[in-house]
Amino acid sequence: MLLAIGLVMTGHAVLTPMQMVIIMITGDFLVMSLTTDRVNPSALPNSWKIGRITLASVILGLCFLAFCTAVLAVGKYEMHFGIDTLRTLVVVSLVFGSQATVYAIRSRHHMWGLRPTVWLVLSSMADVLIVSALALRGIAMAALPLSVLTAELAAAATFGLLLSAIKIPIFARLHIAQEIVPTR
C-alpha cells in the first residue's frame, strides 16, 4: 500500500529494488531475534481467535501505513525533498517504524512491561545503526542529514509509544488480550 500511495503522491516508485533488499535483510535480523525474546506464559492454553487477531493486525498495520505515509508527506510537502531523498526517507521510516512496531506489540500490555532479551536489543541496534550509516553516507540511497535522521528516529519512537497505547483498547475490544486465570 505504501508503494501505491508513494507512487500517487510523488509520481515515482518510492523504493528501488536494492532498497527493498536492505529493508528485507534488516527485517530478517529483527524477526530472527524475536525467537529469543521473553514471554509471559498463560496459565492455561490460549484460544487462538484468528479472525480477531487478523482484524487487530489490520488495524495496527494501517497505523504503520499512516506513520510511513505521514513521514513521506512531510518529506515531500514540508521539506520539499526530491525523489531520491524521499526514497531514503521511506527506507528509514520502514526500518525505524518496524522496530517501533515490534516493541509495541510484543506483549499484551504496555511495551515497557516486559524487558526484551539482549539479542532483541542488539538486533534492533544493529538494524538502526546499519540503516543510519547507509542513509548518512548515501550508500545505496541518497544521503540524509543527521538532523532529519534523528527526527525520524524520534518520530518512530513516538509512534511506538502511541501504538503501544492504542493496541490495549483494540485488544480488549476484540477480546484477544484477556489473561487466562485458572479456576479452582
The architecture that CATH gives domain 18-33+50-173 is Up-down Bundle (1.20)
Query: What is this structure's pTM?
Result: 0.88
Predicted pLDDT of residue 181:
43
CB within 8 A of 4, min separation 6: which ones? none
Predicted pLDDT of residue 184:
44
pLDDT value at 182 more than 50: no
Tens-digit pLDDT profile for residues 99-127: 999 988 887 777 677 788 899 899 999 99
